[in-house]
Structure 1
Amino acid sequence: MRMWYHNGVRTMVFCLLVAAGVTGCGTSDHIAASSSPATAAGAAGPVDPAGVARARSGLPAGYEVGTLAEQAAPVTFWGFKPGWSATPEHCGALVDPGAGTPVRGWSASGPGGIIYAVVAGPGAQTAPPDGCAAWSLEGGHTDATVTSVPGPDIEGTTTVAMSAVATTTVEGGTQTRMHADTVTAYLRDAYVASVTVVTDPGSVQQGLPPNIAPSLLAQVVSAVAG
């Protein structure tokens, strides 16, 4: 602690002595550069949700693409209809952008599963809720257990990822299971982008690449938010 103090004093004195001939000193240059309003303002323009239509190059061959309904959300891709509930309740925001939030996106189906890409906003969540490492959903004859997994690394963007296993009990007690992976990016201007991959654990078809959801999410973020 004593050495840090003396070094700091020497640095301060040096800066004062040469202030007339230089524009900055020590770590101050780094802080100014990273927080410069001019740099931040010129780094990116407004979010363009229509750009999600261009984020398809990462789809496997043989996948057929279609448009999504206006109220599409990850929770519907997981097989839940209106009236579902989450425990804890606030974790439901991870899979639902909120009533009335505009949505743009597409779905793609083919061997191995179904893929959904969505951009919701403006008016969506601006950050992921806390305390949702493990939570659950239930609605109608379906319930799901949800586990948080590491989100993909997209520069300058907060991301989360979830793995869900949903079980539906039909008449006679027969159960069907579905597995879903959803990765989400929280963009500027209250927009949220997400990619969901839904698979049937019992399918004999060849599975999708394990990194398909993070890879497509990175394409979506690049297409809509620069």
Structure 2
Amino acid sequence: MRLFVVGTVLLVCTAACGPRQAPERAPAFSSPPTTGNANVVNLARIDRVRHQLPPGYEVVDLDPHASPVSLWGFGPDWTADPAECAAPAAPETEPSRGWSASGSGGIVYAAVAKGGPVHPDPDVPCEQWRVSGGHSVGTVTAVPAPAIDGAVTRGMATAVTTIVEGGTETRSHADTFTADLDSEAGGYHLFITVVTDPGSPEPALDSAFTADLLVKTVSALRG
């Protein structure tokens, strides 16, 4: 699989792949408390979780301005409906530190930045919302996120469809889990995104892998 640092290539699945089913809601998670000092966050430790990747994954640094919505495949002119739901997908933080890895099961992105907390508007229902930009549209569905001591976590499952030349549809799926952390130095925002091709014959990394990587990354950041 070709690796991209910012943004994803929407992997091709033509109409022959059949209609895409709506993403299943992930089960509730029951995660043990993370170890380390919750009052200290070290951004450089995000590199420690690279060894959690399956064998054969190729890793590079992630663009410090990447956000979940850009990694879903949307450019700078994207819009959200309702707009108030988009905060976790496009957090306003300082430039992040992170990495990207590609392999047979999908593309994995991990990034952490100083800033936050990142909350959608509590008065707007955001169980499901839409994002669009260019020739692409996506449906974002809230899913259960793992419970982590001292952190606010959220989960999103995103199905994206793009109309390419000739009217062919390409599809991709993204699982994104985020965590807002507080420390002695202020707030930090972490996200893990895994983008997969619904039409690929290779087994895809699933939401359980993405959620588990979030838990392990928080533990690593806290030392």
Length-normalised TM-score, structure 2: 0.77
* Alignment match, 1:61: 55
1:193 aligned residue (165, 190, 194): 190
2:116 aligned residue (100, 104, 124): 124
2:43 aligned residue (35, 43, 49): 49
Unaligned runs of 5+ in 2: 1-35
* Alignment match, 2:102: 109
Residues 149-201 of structure 1 show CA distances to partners (whole Å, capped at 9, x for unaligned) of: 11112222211101000011112211100000001111112211111110000
Residue aligned with 1:136, SS: strand
2:139–2:159 Cα contact (<8 Å) kept: yes
The one-letter amino acid of 2:159's match is: V
C-alpha distance in structure 2 between counterparts of 1:52 and 1:128, whole Å:
25
CA shift, 1:96, in A, is 1.1
C-alpha distance in structure 1 between counterparts of 2:104 and 2:38, whole Å:
37
Q: If each structure's helix is expressed as a fraction of its own residues, which one has the higher value? A: 1
Give the structure with higher Rg (CA): 1
2:175–2:207 Cα contact (<8 Å) kept: no
Length-normalised TM-score, structure 1: 0.76
Unaligned runs of 5+ in 1: 1-41
Distance 1:164 1:53, change over 3 A: same
User: Matched residues, percent identical?
Assistant: 49
How many residues are paired up? 183
The structure with higher relative contact order (CA 8 Å, sep 6+) is 2
1:182–1:194 Cα contact (<8 Å) kept: yes
The CA RMSD over aligned residues, in Å, is: 1.8
1:212 aligned residue (209, 212, 216): 209
